[in-house]
Amino acid sequence: MESMVGSHRLLQPVYAGKNVFLTGHTGFKGSWMLAWLQSLGATVKGYALPPEDADGIYNTLPETFKTQSVFADIRDKQKLTDELVAFQPDFIFHLAAQPLVRYAYQHPAETFDVNVTGTANLLEAATALQHKCTIVVITTDKVYHNNEVLRPYTEDDRLGGYDPYSASKACAELVVDSFRNSFFNPNKYAVHQKAIASARAGNVIGGGDWSKDRIVPDIIRSLATGATIPLRSPDAVRPWQHVLEPLEGYMLLGALLHQQPLLFAKAYNFGPLPEQHLTVKELVELGIGYWGKGAWQDVSDPNQPHEAGLLTLDIALAIKELNWKPKLNNKQAIEWTLEWFKHFIETKQSIVLQQIENYEALCNNKE
């Protein structure tokens, strides 16, 4: 496993030596964030279910990164509260979720329970903390009432959700707003010392994601075996982005919220630049080009569960207020993703920390 030699100049001073409570740390995005926070010098306590994928990111990390790892359910409110209060975090990042659209069609009540009640459990637990704590809740780009119009969605657009997953995440946003008003009201910050924001990003790609019914794992499994890549919705447009892009946004939001809690306690979109949105088939063709071989076929079924055909995000607020901006274009995002998988398939070694270091170099060069 490679070592880190540099750290993001804006993030390290904020997170080094701080206690960060990270839910969902065994999942795809959570494991990447665990690695990044640890490399910045934070003390991270993770709370999540055990990792599902033997070859996922979590199992490739150094054991020293996982010393405070609690395997438990976000719906176990007493356990969650006990672990949170015992840790006394300076920051909370809430990533634990049931994240799959098609799984939610099969298990809608479970999805609502995890994504809505789980969020409420975490925020109620945070009310027991008696010190300053900054909270960032991660939802999704799918929280908007999606009419599939060409205009990208802004943070002020109506929340909604056609399918159970999207609706559950929109409900989670309402939970955040309710706790912000009722328990963590910015006007009473001096009393409670809690600041809470939400981050909306989706269609995240990157190495180590082996989840069922996601496009990158489908691409990898097919390319690795020589099979044709099946595409359910080849013409669907999504705000694809490499996993490190929104993670930088989450941590930057957390840092600014910690420093100026009255200014940044709101929702922010994180996604690619407008010209970087791609259809599913365009994403796959970029992947095939990088891999050097492969083919895809349309396997769309009129009876398959509904998934939106068009979804784009307006990231102007994050650019203006957080000074956050994507560093990778869509071609680089898929290349970085497939580079991780190709290296792992060939060597069984992860390049998570190497890619974090490379991304930090991009961040530092653009400051």
* Residue-level pLDDT, tens digit, the chain, 367 residues: 333 334 467 899 999 999 999 999 999 999 999 999 999 999 999 999 999 888 889 999 999 998 899 999 999 999 999 999 999 999 999 999 999 998 999 999 999 999 999 999 999 999 999 999 999 999 999 999 887 766 899 999 999 988 999 999 999 999 999 999 999 999 999 999 999 999 999 789 999 998 877 888 888 889 888 899 989 888 888 788 999 999 999 999 999 999 999 999 999 999 999 888 888 899 999 999 999 888 998 888 776 665 555 678 899 999 999 999 999 999 999 999 999 999 999 999 999 999 999 999 988 776 5
What letter does residue 159 receive in the DSSP assignment? B
Residue 307 confidence (pLDDT): 58
Question: Would residue 351 count as lying in a domain?
Answer: no
How many separate domains does the chain show?
1
Q: How open is the CA angle 109-110-116, to the nearest 5 degrees?
A: 85
| Cα–Cα nearest to 241, from 135, 120, 140 | 140
**Of all helices (H) and strands (E), which one includes residue 161?**
none
**Token pair listed for 132:** 């300053």
Question: Would residue 300 count as lying in a domain?
Answer: no
**Token pair listed for 201:** 């990003």
Q: How far is C-alpha 9 from the geometric centre of its chain's CA atoms?
A: 22
Beta partners for residue 159, in sequence order: 144
**Token pair listed for 75:** 């719906």
| Cα–Cα nearest to 101, from 306, 365, 321 | 306
Residue 305 confidence (pLDDT): 66
Whether the CB-CB separation of 179 and 186 falls below 8 Å is answered with no
Question: What is the sign, positive or negative, of the torsion defined by CA atoms of 169, 170, 175, 180?
Answer: positive
Whether the CB-CB separation of 7 and 41 falls below 8 Å is answered with yes
**Of all helices (H) and strands (E), which one includes residue 276?**
none
Question: Would residue 84 count as lying in a domain?
Answer: yes
> Residue holding tokens 């259809």?
279
Q: β-strands 237-238, 278-279: how paired?
A: antiparallel
Q: Which alpha helices (H) appear in the chain, and where do they start and end?
A: 12-15, 28-39, 57-60, 77-87, 101-106, 108-112, 118-126, 164-182, 189-192, 215-225, 244-259, 280-291, 316-317, 330-347, 352-366
Question: Would residue 134 count as lying in a domain?
Answer: yes
What letter does residue 294 receive in the DSSP assignment? -
Residue 212 confidence (pLDDT): 78
Residue 210 confidence (pLDDT): 87
Question: Would residue 161 count as lying in a domain?
Answer: yes
Question: Would residue 259 count as lying in a domain?
Answer: yes
CA distance 75 to 121: 7
CA distance 265 to 357: 29
| Cα–Cα nearest to 185, from 116, 125, 127 | 127
Residue 329 confidence (pLDDT): 93
Question: What is the sign, positive or negative, of the torsion defined by CA atoms of 350, 210, 39, 327?
Answer: positive
Question: Would residue 158 count as lying in a domain?
Answer: yes
Whether the CB-CB separation of 246 and 239 falls below 8 Å is answered with no
Give the CATH number for residue 182: 3.40.50.720
Residue 8 confidence (pLDDT): 65
Whether the CB-CB separation of 252 and 324 falls below 8 Å is answered with yes
Domain that holds residue 259: 12-209+239-275+312-329
Q: At what angle do helices 330-347 and 215-225 cross, to 10 degrees?
A: 50
**Token pair listed for 173:** 């946003």
Question: Would residue 178 count as lying in a domain?
Answer: yes
Residues 6+ apart with CB under 8 A from 160: 143, 144, 145, 146, 166, 167, 170
Residue 309 confidence (pLDDT): 56
